[in-house]
Chain A
Amino acid sequence: MKKPKIGPSIETIYPYGAGERQELPFFDAPIPAGFPSPAEDYLDKKLDLNELLIRHPSATFFVRVAGESMIQAGIHSGDILIVDRAQEPRSESVVVAVIDGELTVKRIKKRGGRIFLLPENPDFPVMEILGGMNFEVWGVVTYVIHSL
């Protein structure tokens, strides 16, 4: 593929290491000679939220919510969602969907070969996905980050 020069560009591209970045604990207690700290034996790596919340790092994206239609699922306007594209959506999954070109968060429900998108707020209508609609599941919402 021929490419014109575009800048700024780093023209050497390096393979991306498969390993995940790991926070390592920094252990700096002064140790009196001949009297090792008893805590030393229990030194373990720090807890890493990524490890807890993200199963597929290269398929996981963060998005921000605008609107109130999912409030009873604990999703508020301004919250950050963790979205995993590698996860298969199941019925009842909360998903980010593309509907007519817009990214929207909804609960998906499959019933008798029909697909519905349900809001989690009685003020909003249920939507059925019909043929001819431009619809696609963008990713499955796995966690909500909500500030209290």
Chain B
Amino acid sequence: MSSTPSDASPLFALADGNNFYVSCERVFEPKVRDVPVVVLSNNDGCIVSRSNEAKKLGIPMGAPFYRWRPLIVSKGVRVFSSNYPLYGEMSLRMMDTLFSLTPHMEVYSIDEAFLDVPVGPAEAEGWAEGVRRRVLRDVGIPLSLGVASTKTLCKVAGRSAKRDSRGVRILIGQEEIRSALEATGVEELWGIGRQLSKFLIGQGILNGEKLRECDDRWVRAHLGLAGLRTVMELRGIPCVQGEEAPMEGRSVSTSRSFADPLPDPSALREAVACFVATAASKLRENGAMASGLHLFLTTSPFRGDYRSQTAFCSLARPSSYTPTLIGAAWRLLESLNPENLSQVKKAGIILTDLVEESKTPPRLFGMNAALERERGLMEAVDRIQKRWGGQAIQTAAEGRSREWLTRQSRRSPRYTTDWNELPLVKAKG
């Protein structure tokens, strides 16, 4: 397995929206383009996106806001609550634009996608610069593009593209790959988790180049098949398969942290029901059903004595019917029976083992009518919500008070998803 890829091997590009949430805010509020900016998580708890200026001030990713507030105030950092409707919509625009520039693409996260590079190595740089220009002009989001022969190497290239003023890094020549891997710690490699990197560092394998030189059998024995795939990818042999079957075996999750202590157990029950309803509608939108459900509750991660509780159940039959799923979630909640409700800071559900609805086994005759009724009801609910908003119709289980709902005191307007919150342009001077 020592084959090296020839020049003819196809190339991939990782397109990554720089400081994505901050960049979205800057499109509509140009005033904050030249000042340090941070975006907070839901509930204004943690810092989840930072402008380069904010990074230079030393504000770390994921840091609790309250701890950094003094610096943020004294340095005039602009703070935004997260505005997920805006980021989601801007992400669609970015992905749509990228898709028009490549024959094939995989969306990897809200701000990252792998693109097939439609040109050879000699033209790759020009193509990547064109992609960057186009997305910047059309959508207003600055990208970094890392181009290489495997996705794992694209990630390495993408990291250095972020530091490049042109935002593009082509990682093709053997010599360049070697020096890039030498400069990349194993803990920074895609697919090497925290446990594995600890192990590798303990073995004296500190960077990507060292890992690439490891013996296949040793890698297989200590890092498993997934580790071997990563090593192959570092050698330029594509092994990481695309996720082209979007739903099968995947999961959908919804979670949220709570602003204030929950007033009573019913607030937690309502919150859980809301999470289920959101995730279930996502399932239906994708023609999927879930076979398993996880529930988790956690205390604040920023105080000592951090605890979390989880429970799991498999469903008798795959389902995307909101009431069935809420029932299952509530039974899990009862089984956890959180003793000190005021300490529950975050809760969430994960719908797992998804299957495509069309592939679920047919049921016995008597049950098809019930299934049809469920399906019809959910279709009606989805259409009403799509037309008149999520508040227009819901299950009673979700409650109306939304007491658990979080603070978002600094959210920018929903510029692209609400007619009442369009950006204002001045015609005054």
Complex interface residues of chain A between 99 and 147 (CB less than 8 A to chain B): 101-105, 119, 124-125, 136, 138
Shortest CB-to-CB span from A21 to chain B, Å, is: 11
Chain A interface, DSSP helix/strand/loop, else mixed:
loop
Counting chain B residues whose Cβ lies within 8 A of the other chain, the interface size class is 35 or more
Between A and B, 13 residue pairs with Cβ closer than 8 Å are A6-B41, A8-B42, A8-B278, A16-B92, A58-B92, A63-B422, A67-B429, A80-B422, A85-B140, A86-B138, A102-B30, A103-B30, A103-B423
Taking CB atoms and an 8 Å cut-off, the chain A residues in 72-91 that contact chain B are: 75, 77, 80-81, 85-86
Tell whether B97 is near chain A: CB-to-CB under 8 Å. Answer: yes
For residue A46, which residues in chain B have a CB less than 8 angstroms away from its CB? none
Q: Does B55 contact A (CB under 8 A)?
A: no
In the docked arrangement, what's the CA distance between A136 and B105, Å? 31
Do A58 and B16 have beta carbons less than 8 Å apart? Answer: no
For residues 25 through 69 of chain A, which have their beta carbon under 8 Å from a beta carbon of chain B? Answer: 56-59, 61-69
Q: Please determine whether B422 and A62 come into contact, CB atoms closer than 8 angstroms.
A: yes
Of all chain A residues, which has the CB nearest B251?
Answer: A12
The minimal Cβ–Cβ distance linking B59 to chain A, given in whole angstroms, is: 13
Residues of B within 8 A of A104 (CB): 425-429
* CB-CB under 8 A for A65 and B425, given A7-B41, A13-B110: yes
Contacts of A5 in B (CB 8 A): 255
Q: Roughly how many angstroms separate A61 CA and B419 CA in the complex, as a whole number?
A: 11
Find out whether the CB atom of B254 lies under 8 angstroms from the CB atom of A12: no
B109 touches A58 (CB 8 A): no
Partner of A1, one of B16, B93, B429: B16
Q: How far is the CB of A80 from chain B (nearest CB, A)?
A: 7
Q: Are A8 and B255 in contact (CB under 8 A)?
A: yes
Q: Is the CB of B30 within 8 A of A59?
A: no
Question: Which residues from chain B contact A18 at a C-beta distance below 8 Å?
Answer: 96, 99-100
Judged by a CB distance under 8 angstroms, whether B228 is at the interface is: no
User: Nearest chain-A residue to B351 (Cβ)?
Assistant: A12
Chain B residue contacts of A58, Cβ below 8 A: 92-94, 96-97, 138-139
List CB contacts (< 8 Å) of B197-250 with chain A.
246-247, 250
Closest to A59 in B: B138
> Is B346 part of the contact surface with A, judged by Cβ < 8 Å?
yes
User: Which residue of the partner chain, among A4, A66, A125, contacts B427 with CB atoms under 8 Å?
Assistant: A66
Scoring B residues 332 to 373 as 1 if CB is less than 8 Å from chain A, else 0, what string do you get? 000000000000001010000000000000000000000000
Q: Is B252 an interface residue (CB 8 A)?
A: yes
Also in contact, A4 and B48, with CB within 8 A (given A13-B107, A15-B107, A56-B138): yes
Contact of B254 among A8, A63, A102 (CB under 8 A): A8
Which of B30, B46, B91, B275 is close to A8, meaning CB atoms less than 8 Å apart? Answer: B275
CA–CA, A107 to B170, complex, Å? Answer: 40
For residue A73, which residue of chain B has the nearest CB? B427
Q: How far is the CA of A16 from the CA of B105 in the complex (A)?
A: 10
CA distance A51 to B112 in the complex (A): 29
- Asked if residues A66 and B97 are in contact (CB atoms below 8 Å), the reply is no
- Determine if A10 is an interface residue (Cβ-Cβ < 8 Å): yes
Q: With the chains together, A10 CA to B424 CA distance in Å? A: 30
Closest Cβ of chain B: how far from A60's Cβ, in Å? 9
Q: Please, how many angstroms separate the alpha-carbon atoms of A86 and B388 in the complex?
A: 31
The interface residues of chain B lying within 8 Å CB-to-CB of A80 are 419, 422
B99 pairs with A4, CB closer than 8 A: no
Partner of B426, one of A3, A11, A59, A103: A103
With both beta carbons as reference points, the residue of chain B lying nearest to A56 in the complex is identified as B138
Which residues of chain B come closer than 8 Å to A62, judged between CB atoms?
Answer: 416, 419, 422
Q: Is B253 an interface residue (CB 8 A)?
A: yes
Task: Give the CA-CA distance A63 to B30 in the complex, in Å.
Answer: 14
